[in-house]
Every structure is written in structure tokens, then in C-alpha cells.
A and B are shown apart, each in its own frame.
Chain A
């Protein structure tokens, strides 16, 4: 990275860190940003499997849901500490997805997408029929007074802001690292051509399972944060529409780039939440219409997403100079 870019990035991070101090009296904006960080994290998790490995999942809300439910149930039913429940949630999610998808990865392309949808809906139905998990009513976390790091509950929205920001940056760094590692190259080879990958000694099944386990674990962490922030979860967090919504930032930003979900997420979530807040009363669903229109326009005219478009322009300019 060149020096001006580094400085710009440092300034950006500094601004993001200082922001809650200036907008503390506008809890709504803090809320939107927290939501944007959360969605971006989920989108990056999806992008590891969808953008990098080429396995399109429309069931990521379910991975997040398994994580959220495991952690909440551990806290509420077994009196576990939230931080211990986070570890349990990640392990449980990784185990379930690893076991299920090691069987399902022989399916390719559209068939894999179908399995993720069916899996997500099946898990949702299990929760809907399970007394222990609160059925359709959902489960809530106990009320905690003040800011408590040990119980992961804060009265200050600013702390949630920092936690979400740290989560997003952490996941970004993880993805960046994977992108440049042997694992990342193996995954990208599988995306381009699975048979070629197998021929040059990359075992597609093994790497795809690694990808889905990492992706689901990150989703579980995001789910833990979601549950800790809203203090209440119900089976609707796993709806197919939720899974779709968290993929869109990655596609709009550019799914071939690690930064794609970051750009798409921050941009789209802020815009859509603004629209929902302004017009939601008169025209419910207007934010999703905008989402869909932007998505369709991007796919039709800029198939590589916003970043792919910018990147293409820069390389073309440099080529001319």
C-alpha cells in the first residue's frame, strides 16, 4: 500500500473511532452504524464462501441464527457467562455446519444453493417446534444494569459501536489474511474450476469444508453480537429474506474483492436505514425496493460491483498514462 493511502486509511479509522463522541446525542445514527458494521461482518463471512470460493449460499442467516440461539440458550438455560457461551456457540455452529456440509459439498452450483436454502429453513422449523428454544416467541437475555463487560451488556450505545467496529475490522483483517494465504489461493482456484483444482492437488471437498466452517464461525460471532445488542432473538432472524439481505452488500460492492462487502455494506445499509426512517411510515418496503434496484442496476451495468468498476477505471487510466 502506498503512503497516501495509508494516511487516508489511518484518518478514516481515527474518524470512525472518534465519531461516537460527536454523535452521542443522536442514538439513531449510532444505531444505524452499529447495524451497518454488523451487516458488513455478515456480508464478509458470506463473501468467503460465495465470492472467494464460488459457493453461493442463501442460508447464512441460519449460521448466524445457530450461533445466536446457542449463546442465548447457554446463558438463559444454563446460566453460562456470555463470553463462555460465545466459545460454545462458535464450536457448535462450526460442528453443525462442518458435519452437514461435508456431505452436501458434492453438490455443485445451483444444487448447493438449494441445499443451503433448505438447510436454513429446516433449522428454522426445528427452532419453531422446539419448546426449549422458545418456539415462535423467541428468547430474551436477562436485563443487566449499567455497563457490564463481563455480562456483555451496555447501557451506552457507544460501547456497542466500538465492539461492532472492532468485530468488523477483526473479520476484515482475517479475510485479508486468508485472501493472501495458501488457503485463499486454493479457494479461488476452486471458484474458477473445481476439476482443475482437483487435478493440481487441491482437494475441493476439504477446502470447501474449511471455507464453510470459517464462514459459519464468523457468522456465529456476529450472531452473538446481534443477540447481545438486541437482547432478544426469534426464529425470524433466520428467514430466507434475511439471508438474501446480507448477501447484497457483497454483490453491490464487488464480491471478488475482500473490501467489496465493506464498501457495499457501509454504503447500502446507511442509505437503506435512512430511507426506512424517512419514508418507512408512508411507504413500508421502500428501502428494499432501493436495495433491489441498486442490485439489478449494478449486476446489469457493472457486473464486477462498485470496486470492480473503480478498479477497472484505474487500471485503464494507468494503461493510458
Chain B
């Protein structure tokens, strides 16, 4: 029972990250109908930014978060403005897909050239503290990260629901043409959306740094799981993404507990394919 609870706690923690990544991917996919294949790599960039702030400027990883978010937002907006927006005009799904894939390859290998492929970690004086909740023990940074993550998710939900920019993002995602007719600058919304997605990925990275190894391929695990979260949680739904992420995290840890850690990825991916196919079959039948 204790191991079960412990596994649930771990699943919850890692699931929170899948949720946050999924939310970023969700708004990008919702607004521009493209898959952002460099989402995991952006998380990795966020990790290295946090690392750089910590090592070169001595900033605590949690205090570096606003800076990381800002830098990532600027990077994302620039990438969107210079590369993706012009390519959206060609209506070539293949090109858009491989544009982000190429960006991912570029980011991974740039990180490898700049920081080499060594595994790096950030240690602070509180990173080895452990909290006990009854039989379950969790490292302090994990708890803090999880709380911050929940706050960001709620803030994002309210941002999209009630602020003017949030409403514009939702409008463009529902009907780009209609949104432009009522005077919304779609290109500006694209920039903001992509920047926001990049910032969310960067924040996930910053939150991960205290208990995860930093290396150029650290993001690849999270990138694809963010896509699973989008598909399972439903397009345009922030609460859906949140619960899908938690569900995915729990599924992974429980599968490793009951079936075996080495089969974890296989079960998750096979489940994903089955969910996709069944979901599409239901959609087709409903039509």
C-alpha cells in the first residue's frame, strides 16, 4: 500500500509537468493547427537557461523563472515571426511540420556544441531536503515545483478565459477568418501564442532543473508526452490538458509498479495509439 501511495505521489509530480507542457502545446496547436515538434527542445533550452543563470549569475532556480519565461517568450515570438508565420502562407503541412522538427534538431545540437553532452545538475542547500506526508516521502523541490506548476496552470486558465488577449487567442483558435473580420490582428496573436507556448515549456524546464539531469536530449521525453496530453485532453481545453497530464503521469508510474519499469514506455505508447484510433472511430460514427 505504501509503495502504491508513493508511486501515486511520484506520478502526480511528473504528471504535472506533462500537463504544463501539454497546455503550451495545446494553445499552439489550437491557434495555428500545427504540431510544435520542438516543444521538448524548448523545455531543454529552459533548463539550460536556468542552469546558466544559476552558475554564471548565482540566481536561485525558482527566482530565475520570470527571466527564463521572458527570454523564452521573446525567442518563441521571434521564431514565430521570422519563420512560422511566413510559412503558414504556403499551406504546406509537411513544411510546417519539418520546420519545427528542424528547429528542434538545431536547438539540441546547439546545446550540445555550447554545453557539450555532459550531464549537469543544479544543487542548492535545500535541494536534498525531504518532506514526509504519512508514509509518502517527497523531495522538497518537487513539492515546491508542483505547487508553482498548479499556480501557473490556474493563472493560464484565467488568462485565457478573462483577459482581452486570452479572449483573442481563443477567438483565433475557433475561427481565424472570423477573428480577423472583427479586427483581431491574427499575426500578433500567433506571435503571442507561440511565445506563450515557448515560455510555458521554458518554465517547465526551469521547474525541472532541481531534480532532473540537464543534457541536450532531456526534453525529448516530455515533447512527445505533451502531444499525447493534447490529444487525450482535447483541443483547446486547459482543464482537459491538466487532467490528461496527471493521468499520463499516474499511468506511467503505476505501469512501472505493476508491470515493470522497462515496459512503461511501450504500454503508454500503445495505449496512445489505441486511444487515437478509437477516438477517431467514434468521431466518424457520430458524423
With A247-B98, A285-B109 given, is the CB distance from A299 to B93 under 8 Å? no
Encode contact with A along B89-111: 1 for CB under 8 Å, 0 otherwise.
01011110111011101101110
How many Å lie between the Cα of A240 and that of B227 in the bound state? 15
Place the interface of chain B in its size category: 35 or more
Is A152 interfacial (CB 8 A cutoff)?
A: no
A residues 87-116 in Cβ contact with B at 8 Å? 103-104, 106-107, 109-111, 113-115
With A118-B269, A129-B263, A129-B266 given, is the CB distance from A300 to B83 under 8 Å? yes
Is B132 interfacial (CB 8 A cutoff)?
A: no
Chain B minimum-CB-distance residue to A240: B220
How many Å lie between the Cα of A129 and that of B273 in the bound state? 19
Is A289 interfacial (CB 8 A cutoff)?
A: yes
Chain A minimum-CB-distance residue to B90: A303
- The stretch among A8-16, A32-40, A290-298 that forms the contact with chain B is A290-298
Place the interface of chain A in its size category: 35 or more
A residues 233-267 in Cβ contact with B at 8 Å? 240-241, 244, 247-248, 251, 255
Partner of A125, one of B97, B110, B227, B263: B263
Q: Is there contact, CB below 8 Å, between A291 and B277? A: no
Q: Is there contact, CB below 8 Å, between A296 and B102? A: yes
Q: Please give the distance in Å from A136's CB to the nearest CB on chain B.
A: 10
Is A284 interfacial (CB 8 A cutoff)?
A: yes
Q: Is there contact, CB below 8 Å, between A56 and B94? A: yes
Partner of A122, one of B93, B109, B231, B269: B269
How many Å lie between the Cα of A303 and that of B83 in the bound state? 12
Q: Is there contact, CB below 8 Å, between B83 and A107? A: no
B residues 230-269 in Cβ contact with A at 8 Å? 231, 262-263, 265-266, 269
Is A194 interfacial (CB 8 A cutoff)?
A: no
Q: Using Cβ atoms and an 8 Å threshold, which residues of chain B touch A240? A: 220, 224
Partner of B273, one of A119, A248, A251, A255: A119
Chain A minimum-CB-distance residue to B111: A285
Q: Is there contact, CB below 8 Å, between B87 and A303? A: yes
Q: Is there contact, CB below 8 Å, between B92 and A303? A: yes
Q: Is there contact, CB below 8 Å, between A292 and B270? A: no
Q: Using Cβ atoms and an 8 Å threshold, which residues of chain A touch B276? A: 104, 107, 111, 114-115, 118
Q: Using Cβ atoms and an 8 Å threshold, which residues of chain B touch A286? A: 109, 113
Chain A minimum-CB-distance residue to B93: A109
Q: Is there contact, CB below 8 Å, between A292 and B266? A: no
Is B35 interfacial (CB 8 A cutoff)?
A: yes
Q: Please give the distance in Å from B285's CB to the nearest CB on chain A.
A: 11
With A111-B231, A292-B106, A296-B102 given, is the CB distance from A303 to B273 under 8 Å? no
Is A126 interfacial (CB 8 A cutoff)?
A: yes
How many Å lie between the Cα of A291 and that of B94 in the bound state? 17
Partner of B103, one of A54, A109, A296: A296
A residues 28-74 in Cβ contact with B at 8 Å? 50-51, 54, 56, 58
Is B117 interfacial (CB 8 A cutoff)?
A: yes
Q: Is there contact, CB below 8 Å, between B109 and A292? A: yes
Encode contact with A along B9-49: 1 for CB under 8 Å, 0 otherwise.
00000000000000000000100011100000000000000
Is A117 interfacial (CB 8 A cutoff)?
A: yes
With A51-B94, A251-B94, A300-B86 given, is the CB distance from A291 to B105 under 8 Å? yes
Q: Is there contact, CB below 8 Å, between B227 and A114? A: yes
Is A179 interfacial (CB 8 A cutoff)?
A: no
Q: Is there contact, CB below 8 Å, between B273 and A118? A: yes
Q: Is there contact, CB below 8 Å, between B87 and A110? A: no
How many Å lie between the Cα of A4 and that of B102 in the bound state? 37
Q: Using Cβ atoms and an 8 Å threshold, which residues of chain B touch A303? A: 87, 90, 92, 95
Q: Is there contact, CB below 8 Å, between B273 and A104? A: yes
Question: Would you mind naming 6 contact pairs between A and B with Cβ atoms under 8 Å apart?
Answer: A106-B281, A109-B93, A121-B224, A248-B102, A286-B113, A300-B82
- Kindly list 9 other residue pairs between chains A and B, CB separation below 8 angstroms, not including A285-B113, A299-B83, A299-B99: A106-B280, A109-B93, A118-B269, A118-B272, A251-B94, A251-B95, A284-B113, A296-B83, A299-B95
